[in-house]
């Protein structure tokens, strides 16, 4: 009894290879093969590049959010002090900071005194959120300490106040000007609390890249802020930075445990939850649209295989009369279609990765062909985000393209396998 060949035997690959390289005059579909190959290549290329740019834009957006904001902020829950008043201040902030700093993954803990004030310079006024912070801590904020986007000297921080560029623009203030801070909760007297007014020299103007921060934030030395806001010896919150902000939920329990009783955490994800949700929805919608593009490209394989089955009807009839089973014929055409999908996917993958890794060169070419410097385009609202290759995005594109290529190949391959050899040879 003859032994049945194993699936995907060498002769099946040989027949499939002959069909792939056959010219149209020989009954092949080389033109459709090339069109299918190019379509899948471009679709996978577009998918990988778009996902990489999307990831780069998301990372850039998150860096902007985190550049001058805490990854986790610890507050005190409401307590009743000796005077019977509600108190949320942190009196033991030094000890708590030391305990939290010892938590694995925590890179920085900074006690803060925060308050709302009105700023005034000449005829201009602006609302400010003042952060009282130690000089060493403000120097560790990457979004604030950027020499290329700042004016003045951060080394003079202890001698004055640092304000955002939006605040400086609203007040028409420059380095060296003295701005007045007005707090309604100021000096305590026998007749109540009167507004406190202090003047501070602007020693540093920063640009964090976030409108919310640049237009409303100022930094004071913590000792000065404690006096100004009547918070002597206490902090209002603890600002915490960690190694991996994206995985913040994993470290929060340990931080809360180290902070002790009455600790109330607030993460950056909770603060920017609306933006993160919007980004996620946009990412999902974008991936679906690009997946449809890949599906359309793989449908060219179906067109090519249907034409191939039609042109090779006589050959299929001969192969069936020679003893090839339906399964063997099906596998021949699956190999043909899948080979186009695999080669197209790999070419698209290579082109997409090369484009992503050299996106800075692409931007320089844009400068060259448009005749405009990138900075001028950015001033007009154009965004040139970095591209960030992530393994998950690359694998998603790879499996999506290969999966669709294999699936769409099955239908014309089954049609070829079920072709009646008698009908195929009747008119030959």
Whether the pLDDT of residue 424 is over 80: the answer is: no
Q: Are 377 and 370 in contact (CB under 8 A)?
A: yes
So what's the pLDDT on residue 8?
66
The pLDDT-based confidence of 24 (bands split at 50, 70, 90) is low
Q: Are 78 and 230 in contact (CB under 8 A)?
A: no
Whether the pLDDT of residue 221 is over 90: the answer is: yes
Q: State the average pLDDT over residues 207-233.
A: 87
pLDDT for 270-319, tens place per residue?
887 777 788 788 888 888 888 888 888 888 777 777 777 777 667 667 77
The pLDDT-based confidence of 27 (bands split at 50, 70, 90) is very low
So what's the pLDDT on residue 1?
44
Rounded CA-CA distance 171/156 in Å is: 21
Rounded CA-CA distance 191/292 in Å is: 72
pTM of the model: 0.69
Contacts of 188 (CB under 8 A, 6+ apart): 230
Per DSSP, what are the bridge partners of residue 183? Answer: 196
Q: Are 113 and 132 in contact (CB under 8 A)?
A: yes
Q: How far is CA 305 from CA 80, 308, 316, 334, 370, in A?
A: 79, 5, 13, 9, 43
pLDDT for 326-337, tens place per residue?
777 778 778 888
Percentages helix, strand, coil for the chain (3-state, rounded to 5) are 55, 20, 25
Given CA atoms 74, 77, 80, 83 in this order, what sign does their dihedral have?
positive
Number of Cβ within 10 Å of residue 162's Cβ equals 27
Q: Are 149 and 193 in contact (CB under 8 A)?
A: no
Whether the pLDDT of residue 220 is over 90: the answer is: yes
Contacts of 86 (CB under 8 A, 6+ apart): 78, 79, 80
Q: Are 77 and 262 in contact (CB under 8 A)?
A: yes
Rounded CA-CA distance 344/10 in Å is: 23
Rounded CA-CA distance 28/12 in Å is: 17
More confident residue, 242 or 368: 242
So what's the pLDDT on residue 373?
62
Whether the pLDDT of residue 26 is over 60: the answer is: no
């Amino acid at each position: 009894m003859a032994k049945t060949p194993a699936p995907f035997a060498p002769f099946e690959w040989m027949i499939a290879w002959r069909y792939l390289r056959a010219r149209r005059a020989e009954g092949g579909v080389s033109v459709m093969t090339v069109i299918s190959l190019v379509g899948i290549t471009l679709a996978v290329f577009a998918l990988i590049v778009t996902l990489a740019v999307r990831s780069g834009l998301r990372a850039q957006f998150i860096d902007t959010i985190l550049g001058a904001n805490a990854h986790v902020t610890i507050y005190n829950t409401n307590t009743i002090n000796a005077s019977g008043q509600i108190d949320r201040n942190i009196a033991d902030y030094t000890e708590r900071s030391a305990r939290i700093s010892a938590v694995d993954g925590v890179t920085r803990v900074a006690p803060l005194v925060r308050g709302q004030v009105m700023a005034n310079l000449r005829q201009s006024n602006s609302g400010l959120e003042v952060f009282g912070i130690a000089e060493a801590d403000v120097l560790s904020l990457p979004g604030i300490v950027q020499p290329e986007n700042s004016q003045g000297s951060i080394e003079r921080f202890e001698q004055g106040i640092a304000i955002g560029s939006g605040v400086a623009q609203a007040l028409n203030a420059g380095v060296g000007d003295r701005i007045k801070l007005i707090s309604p909760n100021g000096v305590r007297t026998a007749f109540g609390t009167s507004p406190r007014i202090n003047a501070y020299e602007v020693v540093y103007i920063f640009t964090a890249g976030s409108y919310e921060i640049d237009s409303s934030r100022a930094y004071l030395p913590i000792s000065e802020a404690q006096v100004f806001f009547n918070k002597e010896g206490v902090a209002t919150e603890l600002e915490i930075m960690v190694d991996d902000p994206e995985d913040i939920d994993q470290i929060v329990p340990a931080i809360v445990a180290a902070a002790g009783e009455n600790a109330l955490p607030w993460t950056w994800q909770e603060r920017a939850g609306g933006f993160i949700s919007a980004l996620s929805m946009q990412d999902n919608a974008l991936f679906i649209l690009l997946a449809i593009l890949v599906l359309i490209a793989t449908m060219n394989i179906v067109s090519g295989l249907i034409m191939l089955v039609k042109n090779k009807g006589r050959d299929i009839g001969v192969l069936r009369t020679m003893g090839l089973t339906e399964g063997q014929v099906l596998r021949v055409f699956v190999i043909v279609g899948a080979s186009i999908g695999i080669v197209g996917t790999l070419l698209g993958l290579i082109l997409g990765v090369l484009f992503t890794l050299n996106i800075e060169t692409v931007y320089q070419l844009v400068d060259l062909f448009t005749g405009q410097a990138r900075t001028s385009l950015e001033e007009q609202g154009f965004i040139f985000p970095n591209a960030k290759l992530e393994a998950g995005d690359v694998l998603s594109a790879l499996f999506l393209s290969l999966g669709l290529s294999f699936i769409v190949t099955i239908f014309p391959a089954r049609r070829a396998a079920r072709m009646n050899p008698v009908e195929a040879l009747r008119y030959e």
